[in-house]
Every structure is written in structure tokens, then in C-alpha cells.
Amino acid sequence: MSQSKSSVGPSLRSHFTSLLSKDRIRLFSFIRSMVLNVSDAEDVYQRVCLTLWNKFDEFDQKRDFFPWACGVASYTVRNHHRSLRHDRHYFDQELIETISQQREQHLSNYNIRIEFLHECLRALNSSDQQLLQDAVFEKQAVTEIAKTTKRSLQSLYNRLSILRRELAECISRKLQSEQ
């Protein structure tokens, strides 16, 4: 007989919360890739979280949480689309399955891509690291960076474009060597 959720200990609640918070962005992105309307995607996400909690005692702790959560999310999205069949934006089930599988695979690599991004960033020289820090991470205007560094605006845009391409290629190489 399964235990009522109101009587579970803080350790189970804490374990569930840590698993969900670790994958919350990927899970929402997975749902968002199949639900066009942001508000609807947020509603679906809330239903998924409730279902995950209600079924958490069925979760095999030896498995990865994210694929299990994506499976629950796929069924919830399917039910959501069934309720919208009268909507002209309705996707057929086969398309939803294809998108779901591709998105789950893509998001499964998210953490490793972030790790590779950090490695690739560390390989850059200090001035390129600083440029990316200012323009991308601190969202400083490129015009301001040009003034403070006394570099032309066009040269900064060109350098940022080159750096983005180099980082993407570096991550791709690392992903390919990983496989």
C-alpha cells in the first residue's frame, strides 16, 4: 500500500525537489517545444510537476530522472492537445511524438554542452574572454565596450561573431569526440 503524500518525510520531499529543480529548465523547454502558447506551456508544466510528485513513489531511483519526467510530460502534452482539438493549431500525434523524441535527446545533452562551453571559454585568450564576459554575460552594450576599449564598433561585432562561431565549433568537436 502506498504512503499518502501528506505523510512522507522531508527527505523524500527534498530528494524530489532537488531532482526537479536540477532539470526544471530542460523540462520546461521540452514542454515548450510542443506547446506553442507560453501560458498553456506553464499550465502543462504545473500539471506535469503535480503528476511527477503524485507518481514519485513509482520512480525507479536507479534511473535518470529527466527521461522519466519527459515521459510524463509527453503524456500530459498529448492530453493537453486532445483537449484543444477544435483549435486550428492542433498537431497530429505522430508529429508530437517526433518532436518529443528529438527534443528529449537534444536536452539530454544540455549539461554536457554547458560543460564543454566552459572548457572552450577557458581556452580563449584573456581579452576574448573579457569581451564575451562584457557583451554576453553582463549584457553590456557593444557601443559602450567600444568606447572603453577604444576599438571600432565593427571590429567588436566581427570579433564577437568569430568567437561565437569558434565556440560553437569547439563544442561540436567535443560532442563528436564524446560519441
Q: What would the pLDDT profile of 10-57 be if each residue is shown by its tens digit?
A: 788 888 999 999 989 999 999 998 888 889 999 999 999 999 999 998
- Non-local CB neighbours of 68 within 8 Å, separated by 6+ positions: 59, 60
Q: Which fold has domain 111-178?
A: Arc Repressor Mutant, subunit A (1.10.10)
Model-wide pTM > 0.95: no
**131: burial class by Cβ within 10 Å (0-12, 13-18, 19+)?**
buried
Distance CA 122, CA 33 (A): 31
**7-108 adopts what CATH topology?**
Rna Polymerase Sigma Factor; Chain: A (1.10.1740)
What pLDDT, on a 0 to 100 scale, did the predictor assign at position 126? 93
Flag whether pLDDT at 83 surpasses 90: no
Average pLDDT value for residue range 67-86: 86
| Look-up of cell digits 486532445 | 82
Per-residue confidence (pLDDT) for residue 9, from 0 to 100: 63
Average pLDDT, the chain: 85
For the chain, residues classed under CATH 1.10.1740 are 7-108
pLDDT of amino acid 45: 96
Is 136 a residue whose pLDDT tops 90?
no
Look at residue 81 in the predicted model and tell me its pLDDT.
Answer: 81
Residue 85: in which H helix or E strand, if any? none
**Number of residues written out for the chain:** 179
Q: Does 3 score more than 70 pLDDT?
A: no
Under the banding of pLDDT at 50, 70 and 90, the label for residue 86 is low
| Residue 88 pLDDT exceeds 60 | no
